[in-house]
Amino acid sequence: MMAAARSDSEPPFVHTSVMPGEVVAAFGELTSGVIVDATAGGAGHSSALLRALPGVRLLAFDRDPRAVAAATAALAPFGERAEVVHAAFSEIGDRLDERGLGRVDGLLADLGVSSEQLTDPERGMSFRVPGPLDMRMDPTRGETARELIERVSQEELADIIFELGDERASRRIARCIKQALAADRLGDTLDLRRAVVRAVGPRRVGGVDPATRTFQALRVAVNGEVPELRALLTLARGRVRSGGLCAFISFHSTEDRAVKRELVGRNEWEPLTKKPQVPSELEVEQNLRSRSAKLRTARRLPPSGPGEEPPA
């Protein structure tokens, strides 16, 4: 399903892809076949792969309709070699089935939140400017952050903030958020930050805003990022052909642990590097958000049991 073109009044989708050279190198041996880019974003990685690998076709997926529109426009010059589809990780398998694709030759996922999603006030992911308590990557469906806060108990909210944000003060923060909600003082993202600051104080630790972990936890919960990543890792194991390649870029420890368990901890994969690759000093200088990125790559090994791979 192709997205509609962006209207002239809508700002462009801005996102700088991390480690594009390393990603291209990871798939460089492919001379034909199909690569899945599970996180189309602004199509930076997809475009680089299509330019470098002229015999390859690419299917790009994204759950964000604006990213789909941006990627569709960016990949239009590649014609039938590229297709962009609106889908979450857990829906990619069905979209592949609809196209008669049992196996693919490569799979890429950049698990970071795009610059556009973080900086657009209407997304509600930033505490630097007022915005609605939304946080959905796909604003056309699902529960908003405000609805999540209203639905769960104070104890459940504390668990979310602790488990998904690694926030030690989760109990105090959850209590202050619920108090703000009850007092009708939780209207936007700045109100949410104020509730966090009332719980933990305004002091920055290592330059990190005190609301950072809470906002991260709520975004991860709203978008079901943990089960969606689990679905994507299962998809890679089941759909990447023997000898095929995959690459995952993660930005925080929870993601990287899940990727490492799959690519290093299972005998279905042969890791292509002993340690994850990280951006160069020059790239970090030019794109500060890349500083926490880790790229893990692996080759799919033949099945060890009697079962057969899915048909191509």
pTM of this structure: 0.89
Q: Which two tokens stand for residue 99?
A: 């196209």
pLDDT of residue 3 exceeding 50, the answer is: no
Q: Lowest mean pLDDT: which of 83-97, 130-144, 172-186, 279-293? A: 279-293
The residue-averaged pLDDT of 90-99 equals: 98
Could you give the CA distance from residue 201 to residue 250 in angstroms, rounded to a whole number?
Answer: 30
pLDDT of residue 7 exceeding 50, the answer is: no
Q: Which two tokens stand for residue 192?
A: 């949410």
β pairing state of 104-110 and 294-300 = unpaired
Predicted local distance difference test score (pLDDT) of residue 2:
38
Predicted local distance difference test score (pLDDT) of residue 10:
53
- 50-91 pLDDT, tens per residue? 999 999 999 999 999 999 999 999 999 999 999 999 999 999
Tell me the CA distances in angstroms from 272 to 34, 292, 295, 297, one per residue in order: 20, 20, 11, 6
Higher pLDDT, 241 or 289: 241
User: What CATH homologous superfamily does 139-222 map to?
Assistant: Putative methyltransferase TM0872, insert domain (1.10.150.170)
Q: Lowest mean pLDDT: which of 28-42, 112-126, 180-194? A: 112-126
Q: Which two tokens stand for residue 173?
A: 């923060």
Predicted local distance difference test score (pLDDT) of residue 311:
56
**Spatial contact of 240 and 246, defined as CB atoms under 8 Å apart:** yes
Predicted local distance difference test score (pLDDT) of residue 48:
97
* In the chain, ranges of CATH 1.10.150.170 domains: 139-222
Predicted local distance difference test score (pLDDT) of residue 208:
86
The CATH architecture assigned to 20-116+225-300 reads 3-Layer(aba) Sandwich (3.40)
Predicted local distance difference test score (pLDDT) of residue 12:
58
Could you give the CA distance from residue 76 to residue 83 in angstroms, rounded to a whole number?
Answer: 9
Predicted local distance difference test score (pLDDT) of residue 62:
97
DSSP-derived secondary structure letter, 102: S
pLDDT of residue 217 exceeding 80, the answer is: yes
Predicted local distance difference test score (pLDDT) of residue 120:
86
Q: Lowest mean pLDDT: which of 102-106, 126-130, 140-144? A: 126-130
Q: At what angle do helices 212-222 and 154-165 cross, to 10 degrees?
A: 100
* In the chain, ranges of CATH 3.40.50.150 domains: 20-116+225-300
